[in-house]
Structures are given as structure tokens and as C-alpha cells.
Structure 1
Amino acid sequence: MTEDFLHYAWRYQHFNSNHLQTTQGQNLTILAIGEHNRHAGPDFLNARLRIEDTYWAGNVEVHLKASDWLLHRHEKDPAYANVILHVVLDEDQAIYDPNGERIPCLELRRLLDPNLCSAYYRMLNNNLWVPCQNHWQEVKTLSVKLWLERVMVERLEAKTELVKRFLDFNQGDWEEVCYQLLLRNFGLSVNLDPCEQVARSLPLKLIGRHRDNLLQIEALLFGQAGLLEPDFVEKYPQQLQGEYRFLRQKYGLEPMAASNWKFLRMRPANFPTMRLAQFAVLLYQGSNLFSKILAAQDVEELANLFSVTLHGYWSEHYTFDKPSTRKLKHLGSSFIELLILNACIPLIFYYGMYTQDSKYCDKALRFLQELPPEANHIIDGWKKLGFEPEDAGQTQALIHLKRMYCDQRQCLHCAVGAAILK
């Protein structure tokens, strides 16, 4: 038995509530279970009860054993002074409030439905890819979609934590935040951190002084990335190296170690050299990216902001001093969709939260639904269960559902899991 299960049983009143009595034999009527509290303090706030002929309003605390009250030191916490009912599996000890009055206790062990308990144990302890996958199809499609909409927002809110961290670090400079967030995501999952390190070491305002010179922008990015240290054979990397040495001395820059970058088992198109060269062109092509992202009216307009093609040296190289077949290299549609999904949409959504302007939050959610569904191993797993996502909003929700609910066995906090148990 888990405390989470008792929370669930109390929240949905999944126990025999006929002729309830406290452990002291007092008649108990539940008028309102209270509001589930996910923060510090009692588990359910503003509950209403009748014990014998007295009406009570206050909070409810849930534990497996009554003695957990003392184990958690609630007797020393003023937040628990207004607990009017202690709900437990077993009352192994009487608990008293600060005034010396015994706190009424409801013991659930004999009131719980054995079938419900068995179903919960089976769901909690199986080794299936999704704990409830054998019953997934039993839940109404509308219920699943409504839950996914809520989980989609949860996923987006979780992603905005990074935007908040960047905004705090940059003291409210949104353009700098946008630049750092985009460069971080140019690294994909493998080189996220090195890209972020380059962005933090190379302020956008400094790059802005050289905005009209692509060679210097590249030199700054590659130099700070630690990729201009070798003795090059070809003329172009030698030029970059010379530019960076001058700019490094001018601005007092310190490059990172080249060993931070990962090239192995990567497609050449995703090499960090490719992504840094493309990001340099993006900065060269225009300024005020954050303002343009905010102003975009649809995903197509957003995607056009990232229309980048490499010419010259990079049309016949994927990395320095190693020629390849000549080819114009541009940001592919799938890569741009990832940028929009992981950088632009969280940025727009958090800006709406920060400014308390719901139109930006609504726009971010709309953009999620305009993007096509993602393709990855988690989504493949859901498809095998018969769920075909309609857009990126649903795939983001399914990823969050799998990682944060299914893998963590948080079935009681999931509307689908709760519906199956019910």
C-alpha cells in the first residue's frame, strides 16, 4: 500500500462511506473532501465534516500510519494546526493537536474495496511498457484527449523553466534569451550543453558589433567553441583562425575545450561545425529574432525565419580541412520544426506568462497544434497501443505522459489510470 493510494481513495471517495465512524466511535459525515494540496502543508484544504452534531471546517491529512504524523514532525508545524481529520490506513497511535485535543481519525483499512486494491497493485507492479496498456482502449476517446490537452500544457510549462533560468541569468534581456535558447537547440540533444556554453561566453551584443561581417561572426562562434586551435591546411579556416586571434585579444575572450563536442556516430549534417556555420548565417541575415518570433502569426511564418543556406567553403565541407562533394546545405524542415517546438514555442508561452498576456500563451498552444506529429521511439510505442497522434501537441503530451506518469508509476495522478481503476 502507498500513501498515494490513500490520497486517491480519499479524493475520489473510493471506500465504503456508509455509517462512517472515527476510531473513537464518533459518527462522521463527509460534506466536502477539500481541495487537493500539491504544495507544502496538509494534503486537503478547506474540507467540511460533521462529527456527531458538530460541523467542522478545516484541513485533512493522509498517512499510512498515524505515527507518521510525528515522524514528519507535523506537531511542530503551525500549518497543521487546523487539521480536523487524520485519514490513515492504520491508527497505531493517538495524535493530539497543540492544545492537547485528540485529532479525530478515520481508519480506512476495513473500508477499502479489495478489488480496487488488487487492481492498483497489478497496475503498479507489472512490467508492461505502459502500466495500464491492457486496459487503455477501455477509456473513452474524449477522456483521453482531454487529459492529453492538460498534459500538453504541463509539458510546455516544464519547458519554460529553462526560459525562466535564461531570463534570470540575462537580467530580463529577451533578445539575449532568444539567442541563447536558439543556439542551445542548434546542438540537438547531443551538443546542447556545449552550444549553451558558447552562447553564454559570447554575448549577442558583442556579435552585434560584427553583424555585417559573416567571416567575423563565424570566427567568434568557432573560436569560442574551441574549434580553431589546430594547425589548418586550407585557407578559409586559417582566415577564421587569424580573425579569432585578433578578436580574442580585443575582447578578452577565452575559448572552451574542443573535447566537449561530440562528432561520433552523427550524420555529417548534424556535425557541430555545420550547426555553428548555419547559426552564423542566421545571425548575419537579420537582427531582432525575438521580436520576429513573437510577431509570427503561424508556423509557416516562423519557419521562414530559419531559412538558412550555406554557400562557399561550407558547400563542400562538413568540417575543417576535409573536403566533401559540393552541395548547398540548408536547415531541413524537420530540424526547423524541432527548433520551433523546443525553442520558439516555450519562449512565446513563457513571454505570455511573464507579461500576463494570454494571447501569446494561446498562440504557443496553437502553434503546437499546427506542427505535424513527431516521430520517435516513444511515439512508436503509443502507436502500437492504437493511439495515432494528430499533431505535435499530442506527441509532446504523449512523451510527457510516458516519462512523468507511466515510467514513474504515477497512475493515480493520471486521468486515464484513475478512470481505469474507477
Structure 2
Amino acid sequence: MIPQEIIRRKRDGDELDAADIRSFIAALAAGRLSEGQIGAFAMAVWFKGMSRAEIVALTLAMADSGDRLQWADIDRPIADKHSTGGVGDNVSLMLAPIAAACGLAVPMISGRGLGHTGGTLDKLESIPGYRITPDADLFHKVVKEAGCAIIGQTGTLAPADGRLYAVRDVTATVDSIPLITASILSKKLAAGLETLLLDVKVGNGAFMADRGQAEILAQSLVEVANGAGVKTSALITDMNQPLADSAGNAVEMRNCLDFLAGRKRDTRLDIVVLAFAAEMLVKSGIAASPDEAEGMARQALSSGKAAEVFARMVSMLGGPSDLIENPDRHLARAPVEKPVLAARSGWLSACDARGVGLSVIDLGGGRRHPSDRIDHRVGFSELLPLGTRVTAGEPIALVHAADEAAAERAAAALAMHYRITDDKPETTPVIAGLV
């Protein structure tokens, strides 16, 4: 295999065969390609695209570049979910234990925050003692005995993706649908899944702001994953406002614990969690219809079984055993809490969700550089949903900050991210479509 020949052929728009793609990715994983060659290949794909067969071959080659997890001794369907990233999106934290309580095994490999979007791992790290990178034996044990485990990617799982992504990040080739598809799915295939649900976000707080592009990405992910042998579907969900009423790390973890314990329900979050649970249960063969599946998910919540699964997972991975009952004993609180007040009376009619995510970063709840340390305490809670009638001076959110100055800046910024109008806005459905 001559790397520059493969690059040239893709540059010229030729369709690469599976053997050439496998050879190129094997060389990438083994460190035999220069960053220039990797960048040139990524740019050629960005400009010329890939056929569905090429994307399947690329995904499989990247999945095979490292270890593949095996679950032969677990007699439950193996399922997972992936989100393309949003603000106030803590669906995975509730969905995994609900699905496990209904009879699935969920080995969920999650990521950190990217850009303005929050990361599941960052939220889990607000739990003292929680091990996001357990060894393979412990990961397997937790999935088998608790029913689910939410952890971070290891260096042996689809390592080719890590090197390719690092180069894409600095060569303006991140937003290539073939490369996004292969990056997401290679890790999921390596995890040994049988069923996969995808949450493709669309809106001003998503990486895909355009509905048409979100549908193209969802179609690519679903077709490639099914082509690779994993039963897959995707929900396209709205990200024109935070999904939950919290945005941050510890504040979103509290939201998750209150949801599982039955202490609260967020309307939009409730809709998305139950829709994903239902689709996952039907796709995996646990339930015969969406209505039956949703009933099972609601029962898992109301009975406390989902909360028990989550508590066991946390305890087995090193966290406190009483986290759900006593969140304030274990989750650090920011020293300053300040209400954000409505500047005028009217209807909350629009939100810059991306701006909300960036304001969390400004508070210290995200990273500007990979080496930055996160302040898990900070963020926003009690965010009112769009379509809410407010009175001037009424709180529309609560800022959690490290000091008074940061709280003042965040409150002023958040107020600017919401528009208040005299007319009631049209309600946007949180689930925009199914692929």
C-alpha cells in the first residue's frame, strides 16, 4: 500500500475499495503515516465525500484498529445510545439505568465536553470517587451485575479514530459527514453493540444548526451502522434551548438524581428520555410496541428500579452508595448562587442555546484548552423553558458561580441569551423526526 496513491485517488474523486481503506487505517493506527498524509486524506474526503460502501469500510477498519469488547457471557441484548452533543443534555445518565432496569445491558462509552456542548464524563466526574476509566474486567463486571456502566473511551478502543480526529481538529475537516460517521460508529462497533440509538441534535445549540444537514447526518449514521450489522435508528431532537432546566456538571447530575428518584420531571427531558427508552426496547426486542416499551420505562422509574441500577453502578465504580438519597452530601455546591431576573414582562420566546453553553465555560464549567481543569460546581439551574410567561424582575434561572464577580457576569450574559416578547411563541416539538 502506497499512502500517497490512496490520497491521490480520493483527491481525484475515485471510489476506494475496502482493502485499500483497511491498509491505510492500519498504517495510521501503527504510526506509519505522517500528519501531512493523514491531513491530506481527511481533506480529500472532505472535498470529494465517500460512497456508503466506503464509509462502511472506513468505519469497520477503524473499529478493528484496536480491541473489540465481547459480551458472550451476558444473556441480555447489548444496546447503547449516542448524542451528537447539546446543552443541558443529560439523557444518557437516566437512559442507561432505565434501559438496564427493563432488561438490556448497556456498556455506554461516553465523551467529554466538546466546544460549547457538555460532556457526560465531565458530569460523572462531579461524583467523588467515580472511576470513569476502569480496567476491562471491572467494566465487564459492572455491566453484567448492575446492567449498565457509563465510562470513558480507553486507548485500546478504536485508536485509529483518536489519531485521525486529532489531525481533523487542526485541519478544518471535523465537519465531514463521512468522517463524523466513521468516528462515532467505530467506537460503538468496537464496544460490541447489537442495538444503537442515535440522538442527532439540530438547532442553534447543536453542531448541526440546519435541519437538512441533521437529516443527512442521521441517515448516514443509520445506514452505515445497519450496514455494519448493528440495529440502529436515530431521533432528531431540538436544541434551540437547553434540554434540561440545568446546564453544568454537578447541577446536571443533581437534575439526573432528582429525575431518577422521582423528585422532579422536566417536560422536555422527560419526553426525550422516554422516547429513547421506548425505541431502544423495541429495537432490541424487549418490547413489542412503543406503547408497551414506554410503559415499561415509566414503571422502571416509578418503582425505583432504575434508581437502584444507577446507585449500584455508581457504587461499583467507586462512588458513594447513597448518592441518590443524599446528593448534597456528595456533590459540591458553588459558593455563590445568584438569580437571573427577567428584564421585562412577556413571553420567553427564543434562546441562544450555544451562548448558554459558552457561558457555562466562562464560569469555569468547561474547557478552553484540553489541559484546563473544570470547576464542576458552576453552571445554571432552574432555567425556564421557552413559552413561559414571565414578569419583570422574576427569576428565569439561577447562576452557580465561584465568586460574586463571575456570578454577575454570568447573570448578565444569560439574560442576553433569552428574548422576551409580547406575543406567545409557537411551541417547537422536542422530537423533530425519526430515521
TM category, shorter: under 0.3
**Structure with more of its chain in helix, by fraction:** 1
* TM-score, normalised with respect to structure 1: 0.22
Q: Which has the larger radius of gyration?
A: 1
